[in-house]
């Protein structure tokens, strides 16, 4: 007789079909029905941070730790918060070096899984483990090697190459995000490859718009080169943006993206804007000048969007690189960005005074400050034709966060001033999990409205499909020929 199985060491992993639905039986039944109608809709991913090289080159991913752990700041920040060194997890430092053995890093991660209880990371990981890799036992210290070995084997197989996964995930469109200094060669290669997958770019000019960005000067020079434009004067700098935006549009872009410390906008007289730009170029600017320049550039981008049709996304409110020591060792985007209170009402007024009444412009607003949902964002989006609300973002891209988003925006902005879901992720394998969470939570919210007789079920079913599929396509202008149908019930 062998050893009996140890239930503590290999507990079963299974994705319950009713996960994330409200517990009340009547609400759950409704949620299940609504979800049943949207569960298999194709994925529209209009904003995210996957690497286009994956789809251009279609090379196999390496091992579990390098694919799932080392690039995921949701994971290593939590481990770091409990005293686990970043190096031990294989997180590369500024020089790109990682000293960790991938298997050792994976074991370390696996032994700390309890830290993720109740977090969206646990939900996403379990989905990836069960659905993508077929595991039926939970990851733990006891199963770390089993996981590491099996994931390694599977990743070597053709069915786990990026394009095969893209197809398997039923992704209809995936947007990546690039700097104007990017030549978009991977996107070119994808288009010319004959592969049918639709991978587009998005224009994210932060590094050439933010004088406080650590790569501003290098980026500006590269920007000028790629645009073939003299950027030493204001009109030339703006023209370079127009040129690069056209190149991005040619690579499929339908949107821009702006990650600023605040939502400040400005609409300076041309001469003042020009003078400001020269203070920036001359290096004689204050932090207030930097803020004002970013603010002015949001309005410039909006004016260009009115011309070239790119949908504009504003992602404000993060204090980036809060941990100075970590920043110097590891660089940006390492789990040390902390949200701050974010004003929209005064901040957006200059842009809105100029362009807020233009139905032909779409500006999608995001927030890390949930207090703005009901107080500022829903009233703004529920009034201005140019404004829409992006989904619950980053720390709030979670079951509770999405629920709060709907509870706090719907009554003032409705559903149709929102744009469906963004996964906004670099964790490619988690994309189906993230969209599934959004669909489940939205269906749970709609089910509650139906159960409370605030919405009829036929209306809820339409809204569910709009949130999962139609609204992102419409808001991001991904299918100009198929706007939202005029439905008889409307």
H helix runs in 309-377, sequence order: 324-330, 349-355, 371-372
How far, in Å, CA of 183 to CA of 139, rounded? 40
**DSSP letter string over 221-282?**
HHHHHHHT---SSHHHHHHHHHHHHHHHHHTT--EEEE--SS-------HHHHHHHHHHHHT
CA torsion, ordered 181, 94, 341, 78, to nearest 10 deg? 130
Report the DSSP beta bridge partners of residue 364. Answer: 313, 388
Q: Could you say whether residue 309 binds a second copy (CB under 8 A)?
A: no
Between 200 and 351, CB nearer to a second copy = 351
Stretch that binds a second copy, among 64-72, 87-95, 299-307, 415-423 (CB under 8 A): 415-423
Query: Residues 60-99 vs a second copy: string with x where CB under 8 A?
Result: -----------------xx-xxxx----------------
369 binds a second copy (CB under 8 A): yes
| 200 bridge partner residues | 175
Instruction: Choose one: 94-102, 129-137, 224-232, 443-451; the region binding a second copy (CB under 8 A).
Output: 443-451
Helix (H) or strand (E) holding 173, with range, is strand 171-175
The smaller minimum CB distance to a second copy, of residues 207 and 410, is found at: 410
For the bound state, the minimum distance from the C-beta of residue 466 to a second copy, rounded and expressed in Å, comes to 9
- DSSP run (H or E) holding 319: strand 318-319
Which residues on neighbouring strands pair with residue 43, listed in sequence order?
171
Each residue 19-58 as x (binds a second copy by CB under 8 A) or -, in order, gives: xxxxxxxxx-------------------------------
Quick one: which of 34, 75, 100, 123 contacts a second copy (CB under 8 A)? 123
Q: Which of 1, 2, 8, 196 is the binder for a second copy (CB under 8 A)?
A: 8
Side-by-side strand order, sheet with 199-200: 43-45, 171-175, 199-200
Min dist CB 256 to a second copy, Å, is 21
Q: Does 343 help bind a second copy (rule: CB under 8 A)?
A: yes
Nearer residue to a second copy within complex by CB, 170 or 371: 371
Site map (CB under 8 A) of a second copy, residues 280-299, x = contact: --------------------
Of these, 117, 228, 270, 288, which contacts a second copy (CB under 8 A)?
A: 117
Show the DSSP H helices in 128-259 as ranges: 144-155, 162-168, 185-192, 206-209, 216-227, 234-250
Q: Please classify residue 121 by burial: count the beta carbons closer than 10 Å to its beta carbon, then call 0-12 exposed, 13-18 middle and 19+ buried.
A: buried
352 near a second copy (CB under 8 A)? yes
Candidate list 179, 188, 412, 479; residue touching a second copy; CB under 8 A: 412
Our CA angle for 237, 238, 243, nearest 5°, is 95
Pick from 122, 247, 306, 465 the residue near a second copy by CB under 8 A: 122
- Residues 350 and 361: their CA atoms lie apart, in Å, by 15
From the list 33-41, 53-61, 280-288, 363-371, the region that binds a second copy by CB under 8 A is 363-371
**Comparison of 229 and 417: residue with beta carbon closer to a second copy:** 417
Number of residues that bind a second copy (CB under 8 A): 109
Concatenate the DSSP letters of all residues of 46-87 into one string: -S----HHHHHH-PPP--HIIIIITT-HHHHHHHHHTT--TG
Lay out the site mask for a second copy across 241-270 (x = CB under 8 A, - = otherwise).
------------------------------
């Amino acid at each position: 007789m062998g050893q009996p199985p140890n239930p503590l060491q290999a507990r079963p992993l299974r994705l319950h079909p009713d996960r994330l639905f409200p517990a009340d039986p009547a609400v759950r039944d409704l949620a299940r029905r609504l979800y049943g109608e949207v569960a298999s809709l194709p994925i529209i991913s209009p904003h995210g941070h996957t690497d286009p090289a994956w789809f251009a080159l279609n090379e196999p991913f390496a091992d579990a730790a390098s694919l799932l752990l080392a690039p995921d700041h949701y994971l290593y920040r939590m481990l770091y918060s409990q005293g686990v060194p970043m190096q031990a997890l294989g997180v590369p430092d500024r020089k790109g070096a990682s000293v960790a053995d991938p298997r050792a890093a994976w074991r370390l991660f696996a032994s700390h899984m309890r830290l993720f209880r109740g977090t969206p990371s646990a939900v996403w990981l379990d989905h990836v483990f069960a659905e993508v890799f077929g595991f039926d036992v939970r990851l733990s210290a006891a199963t770390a090697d089993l996981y590491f070995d099996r994931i390694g084997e599977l990743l070597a197989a053709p069915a786990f190459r990026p394009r095969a996964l893209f197809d398997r995930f039923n992704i209809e469109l995936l947007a990546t995000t690039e700097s104007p200094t990017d030549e978009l060669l991977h996107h070119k290669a994808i288009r010319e490859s004959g592969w049918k997958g639709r991978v587009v770019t998005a224009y994210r000019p932060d590094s050439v718009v933010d004088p406080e960005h650590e790569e501003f000067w290098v980026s500006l020079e590269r920007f000028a080169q790629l645009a073939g434009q003299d950027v030493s004067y204001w009109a030339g700098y703006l023209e370079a943006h127009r040129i690069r935006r056209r190149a991005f549009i040619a690579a499929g872009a339908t949107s821009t993206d702006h990650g600023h410390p605040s939502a400040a906008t400005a609409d300076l007289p041309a001469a003042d804007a020009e003078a400001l730009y020269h203070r920036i170029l001359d290096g004689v600017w204050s932090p207030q000048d930097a803020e004002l320049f970013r603010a002015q550039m949001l309005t410039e981008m909006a004016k260009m969007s009115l011309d070239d049709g790119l949908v504009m996304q504003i992602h404000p409110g993060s204090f980036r690189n809060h941990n100075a020591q970590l920043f110097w060792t590891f660089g940006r985007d390492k789990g040390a960005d902390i949200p701050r209170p974010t004003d929209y009402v005064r901040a957006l007024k200059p842009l809105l005074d100029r362009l807020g009444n233009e139905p032909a412009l779409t500006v999608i607003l995001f927030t890390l400050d949930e207090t703005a949902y009901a107080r500022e964002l829903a009233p703004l989006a529920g009034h201005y034709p140019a404004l829409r609300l992006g989904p619950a973002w980053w720390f709030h891209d979670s079951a509770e966060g999405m629920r709060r988003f709907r509870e706090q925006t719907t009554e003032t902005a409705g559903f149709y001033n929102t744009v469906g879901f963004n996964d906004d992720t670099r964790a490619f394998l988690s994309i189906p999990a993230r969209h599934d969470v959004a669909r489940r939570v939205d269906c749970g919210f709609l089910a509650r409205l139906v159960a409370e007789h605030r919405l009829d079920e036929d209306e809820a079913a339409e809204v569910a499909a709009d949130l999962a599929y139609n609204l992102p396509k419409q808001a991001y202008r991904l299918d100009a020929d198929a706007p939202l149908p005029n439905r008889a019930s409307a």
